[in-house]
């Protein structure tokens, strides 16, 4: 079977911005129960359900995600490796307890990029929608100097057959769609 190319690309306008504004976490089982509808590599609808995603707001210029293609020519395999790195300031018991649950789950994450501030309704990407993300070695600490971070540096990674999908509802806004599933 031939893998046919379908399009070319011209240079984009210079209006892109990096970084993450927020993330929303849910278990892979909760995501599966939402029965998301997808088309052409985008999430177009999410089924009704009780609140299952928990939103974490993030400081600017501290957190990031990647969705790196992994190709092995020798065996002819390709997969995608989503990674997420987030920073949460201030050690406290509530965060400690929630991080314990994050570490024990297979997670699906909806990432809101800073591009939302430039591109209108925003860019939201779903990571781990097939197999979930797992927490990888992370840190929690007080720092040494008064200007050091007191808080958490959390890392997650997964292995997916397809790249991350953007949320682009067929009707309505992303904000309305996410409001129905976010706590």
| Digit-coded pLDDT (tens) for 14-72 | 888 889 999 999 999 999 999 999 999 999 998 877 778 999 999 999 999 999 999 99
> Residues 32-44, buried b or exposed e (16+ Cβ, 10 A)?
eebebeeeeeebb
- Backbone conformation region of residue 61, classed left if phi is above 0, alpha if psi is from -120 to 50, else beta: left
Judge whether residue 122 has pLDDT over 70: no
In angstroms, what CA-CA distances link 99 with 43, 51, 110, 140? 27, 19, 17, 10
| Local confidence band at 121 (pLDDT 50, 70, 90 cut-offs) | low
Angle (nearest 5°) at CA 16 between 20 and 158? 40
Domain residue spans of the chain: 61-159
84, 67 contact by CB (below 8 A)? no
The pair of structure tokens assigned to 77 is: 């395999």
Answer whether 94's CB lies under 8 Å from 152's CB: no
Query: Nearest 5°: phi and psi at 2?
Result: -85, 145
* Structure confidence at residue 1 (pLDDT): 56
Q: Is the pTM of this model over 0.85?
A: yes
The string of pLDDT tens digits covering residues 147-173 is: 999 999 999 999 999 999 999 887 778
DSSP-based three-state secondary structure for 93:
helix
CA 33 to chain centre: 18
**pLDDT computed for residue 78 by the predictor:** 95
* Beta strand 165-167 pairing with 42-45: parallel
């Amino acid at each position: 079977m031939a893998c046919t190319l379908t399009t070319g690309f011209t240079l984009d306008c210079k209006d892109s911005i990096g970084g993450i504004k927020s993330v929303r976490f849910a278990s892979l089982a909760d995501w599966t129960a939402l029965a998301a509808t997808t088309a052409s590599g985008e999430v177009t609808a999410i089924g009704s359900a009780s609140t299952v995603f928990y939103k974490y707001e993030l400081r600017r210029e501290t957190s990031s995600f990647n969705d790196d293609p992994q190709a092995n020519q020798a065996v002819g395999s390709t997969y995608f490796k989503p990674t997420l790195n987030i920073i949460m300031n201030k050690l406290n018991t509530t965060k400690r307890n929630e991080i314990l649950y994050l570490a024990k789950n297979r997670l699906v994450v909806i990432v809101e990029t800073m591009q939302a501030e430039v591109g209108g309704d925003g860019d939201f990407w779903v990571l781990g929608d097939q197999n979930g993300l797992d927490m990888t070695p992370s840190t929690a600490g007080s720092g040494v100097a008064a200007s050091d971070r007191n808080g958490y540096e959390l890392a997650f990674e997964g292995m997916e057959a397809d790249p991350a999908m953007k949320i682009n509802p067929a009707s309505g806004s992303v904000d309305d769609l996410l409001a129905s599933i976010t706590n």
